[in-house]
Structure 1
Amino acid sequence: MANTSTRTLRLLSLLQTHRYWPGEELADRLGVSIRTLRRDIDRLRELGYPVEAQRGVDGGYQLAAGAALPPLVIDDEEAVALAVGLQAAAESPVEGIAEASVRVLAKVVQVMPARLRHRVEALRAVTVPVGGGATAGPGVDPDRLTVVALACRDTERLRFSYTAADGRHAERQVEPHRLVCLHRRWYLVAYDLDRQDWRTFRLDRLSAPQGGGVRFGPRSLPAADAAEFVRAGLNGVPRPYRVAALVDAPAATVRARVGRWGTVEEVDAGRCRLEMTADSLDWPAMALGSLGADFRVLGPPELLDLVEEWGARFTRAARGSRAAE
Structure 2
Amino acid sequence: MSTIDIRAAALHIDAKTLSSTDGLERDLSKFLEGLDNFAESTHLKIVSKRVVAPLTSESELERTLKTLYERAESQGINYVGIPLGHWDPSTLYEALLTYPRLFLSVEYGPGSESDILKVFRVFSESSYMLATRFAVSFGQRVQTPYFPATQSKENGVSLSLLYVEQFKKGALLESLLERLKEMQRQAEASWDSFLGVDLSISPWMERSVASLVEEISGITFTLPGTIAAIRELNRRIEYLASHVKTTGFNEVMLPLAEDNRLKELARIGQLRFSHLLNYASYCVAGLDMVVIPDTSEDTVLLGLLRDLWDIHLLKRRPLGMRLILAPAEDGSDIDLGMFGKTPVLSPLR
Question: So what's the TM-score if we normalise by structure 2?
Answer: 0.21
Structure with max Cα Rg: 1
Structure with bigger RCO (C-alpha 8 Å, 6+ apart): 2
Higher strand share: 1
